[in-house]
Homo-oligomer: A and B are copies of this chain.
Amino acid sequence: MITINDVAKLSGVTTATVSRVLNGGKNVKKETMEKVLDAIKKLNYKPNKIARNLAKGRFTESTIGVILTVAIYPFFYNILKGIYRGLSEQNYNILIFNIGKNRKEVFEHIVKENLSGVLIVATGISEEEKMLFQIHNMKFVYLDFFEENENSIFIDNYLGGNLAANYFISKNINKIALVGEDRKTQQQENRFLGFKDVLSKNGINIKTERHISFMENMPYSVHGKESYKITKELIENTDIEGIFYYCDELAYGGLKAKKELKSSIFIIGYDDLPSSRYFKLTTIRQPAYLIGYYGARNILNVIKTSNMVPIKKCISPKLVVRKT
């Protein structure tokens, strides 16, 4: 590594002078300046920001980390947008981490960064990871994820499930299927539980439940195609009247099957992504943007107040009735 010492030696001055040049060249003779600049170029010297910031006593943190798993889906994008808005307002920057692969390494990297706090999107972290954060006094807020005793801004997925079930009941639909992913996420568990609970209260049992195998490294649309196949099969081989999908993108696949087979099956999604409006999909709306925005405001709050009582913010989803 080329340091200020190397530059000083090559240009025949002390590091003090090199430093002066680096800082704008006030009080430096023109010729000296040129010599130094020359040496910098020759050595392709790049000042070390870390050292400089330490020397200058610049310890202000104005960056919030955002921890994402795998890809940015449209839903997460809206969360991100909200975060961006909330953080920009307070002149904070966003540092995005992807913990999809090398999770452990990335976590160790995160605590080395000069961060004010961290926003964790749609996933929980292990006790070990929490410990790591604690040692480094790194505050965090969960987004779209609930955990007792932690700061979390989340959506009432159970209620979302209720809403979907009530919609079917209002339409007098009894033969119902569920289509989701095969990985157990908090979001899906609660949605489906809320859905089933309302149904059983009304004496209805789910006819069948299908789970698409989740593929981490694929664009999510691949799952939509799986959903299309499954729906087709369901329509052809069963007397199902309605399907509740884990999310809109899965429902889109269902819509395609429905159309192709000219079926009159009822379909309900979850998320209310932008496209759902144009597909006229009946769905449960989650205000993703708000989650992000609240998240941004709250992490800033947590940092400032070093609050002991965890922040809990539960957002209610809404039924959006369209034509499916």
A residues neighboring B (CB under 8 Å):
1, 22, 44-54, 58-59, 62-63, 71-72, 77, 80-81, 84-85, 88, 91, 93-98, 100, 102, 109, 112-114, 135-137, 274-275, 277-279, 306
Given known A-B contacts A45-B137, A54-B54, A88 and B100 have beta carbons under 8 A apart: yes
Work out how many copies of this chain go into the complex: 2
Least distance between A10 CB and chain B CB atoms (Å): 16
Asked if residues B53 and A112 are in contact (CB atoms below 8 Å), the reply is: yes
Pull 16 A–B residue pairs with CB atoms less than 8 Å apart, ordered by A: A1-B59, A44-B306, A45-B137, A47-B136, A48-B54, A50-B50, A50-B53, A50-B54, A54-B54, A63-B95, A71-B85, A72-B81, A93-B95, A275-B275, A275-B278, A277-B278
Chain A binding surface, main DSSP class: mixed
CB distance from A193 to the nearest CB of B (A): 32
Alpha-carbon distance between A94 and B72 when the two chains are bound, in angstroms: 13
**Nearest chain B CB to A254 CB, angstrom units:** 17
Residues of B close to A112: CB separation below 8 A: 49, 52-53, 58
| Assembled-state Cα–Cα distance A114/B50 (Å) | 7
Cα(A115)–Cα(B278), bound, Å: 41
Chain B residue with Cβ nearest A92: B98
Residues of B within 8 A of A63 (CB): 95
